[in-house]
Amino acid sequence: MSLPANWNKLAIEYIQGVNPRVAIFGYVPIGGMWANQITELEYMRSQGWLLKDSEGNEWDPDPKYGDKIGYDIGNSDCRAWIINRIKQQISELCNITGMFGDGTNTYIPLPTELRPINPRTNALYTDKEWNADMVAFVNDFHRLVSKPWLANGAGLLGARQYHPNQVYADPVIDVVDGILIEGWIRWENQDLRPEAEWKANLDFLQSLVNKGKFVLAWTIGYGNIPEPLTLDQVLMYGLCSHRLVTTPKTLFALSCNNLAYELDHYTLMRTNLSYPTKPYQKRTDVPVYERDFQQGKVLVNSTTSEQIVRLGRSYKTLEGRTVTEVTMPAKTGVILKKNDAFRWWL
């Protein structure tokens, strides 16, 4: 659970010096301790805080990777110990904005044979029990630390997980301060989402916005990108889809394991069209979604066919061309400006 201290601290101090308003969240995995954290695990083992499976073995909350040992979030002493460690980390890291809890699972995303035993019932941990204990963890964090909690985990990764597990997701959403939607428009090694699922993700983001949550929509650009899909298309489709719902409390991010590409396209991702003038809508002439802003317009073609959009007035593309209509291939997004004014979101 420990965060690398010195170089992280220096980097944070530098970033805060460049932009004092920047929000910086520390990273911490929830529900499991890294297997190489020997000292912490020995102490938790001595307290009886490590969960076990039905065979009596220490429980792995993420068997896909096999690098964690799960701890008992339902034990109030265990929660307090974990949270006080996080509080110390925040203090050591220049009093950062808050914490990103990776694995803030709203239920246990594992089959029955891989679930842990609940020490309070001596039976398999149920989703209802886990959900209540995760809510208690976040509430304890707020009580002891008074910092924002940005959550990511089972039930929160997007519409595909949220809708069938809403009974577990909503209680956690209600107590956290923000959500990281991982895989905003695609997962690693996959194509872009089908239109119905894409629209469901838009609605999920809108529901979080309506609840006043801070949201980071993370588009995955790494892994194999099946042809004819390109990384540039992934970026623009994800960015424009996000802009359909965007507010000052929602941010877009692209991760492609290529820092040079991400830096080269940083200004594009910060393009500011000023405030939206109305909610997004589906056009009546072509099946394209649009949203108007004071300084421009965003268009998204979520269909599997090319669409020609007649704009009714002239706009400028980000490349500086003046257009009165745009041809949009399948699964693409376009940002248009009303004039040459160009500002940035910080």
Q: What are the pLDDT digits (tens) for 11-35?
A: 778 777 877 778 889 999 999 999 9
pLDDT number for residue 6: 64
Residues 15 and 87 sit within 8 Å (Cβ to Cβ): no
Q: Predicted confidence band at 1 (pLDDT cuts at 50, 70, 90)?
A: very low
The percentage of residues in the chain with a pLDDT greater than 70, rounded to a whole number, is 96
Q: Per-residue pLDDT tens for 128-153?
A: 999 999 999 999 999 999 999 999 99
CA distance 199 to 194: 9
pLDDT number for residue 141: 97
The percentage of residues in the chain with a pLDDT greater than 90, rounded to a whole number, is 74
Question: Which residue has tokens 């940035």?
Answer: 344
- The mean pLDDT value for 297-326 works out to 95
Q: Per-residue pLDDT tens for 153-165?
A: 999 999 999 999 9
Beta strands in 76-206 (DSSP E): 98-102, 117-118, 123-124, 149-152, 178-182
* Complete domains list, the chain, with CATH: 6-272 (3.20.20.70)
Q: Each residue of 117-133: b (16+ CB within 10 Å) or e? A: bbeeeeeebebebbbeb
pTM over 0.95: no
pLDDT of residue 345 exceeding 70, the answer is no
**Residue 180: burial class (beta carbons within 10 Å; 0-12, 13-18, 19+):** buried
Q: Per-residue pLDDT tens for 36-58?
A: 999 999 999 999 999 999 999 99
Pairing of strands 281-282, 289-293: antiparallel
Peptide bond into 228 cis (omega under 30): yes
pLDDT of residue 85 exceeding 70, the answer is yes
Q: Per-residue pLDDT tens for 282-292?
A: 999 999 999 99
Q: Predicted confidence band at 340 (pLDDT cuts at 50, 70, 90)?
A: low
Of 187, 181, 265, the residue nearest 222 (C-alpha): 187
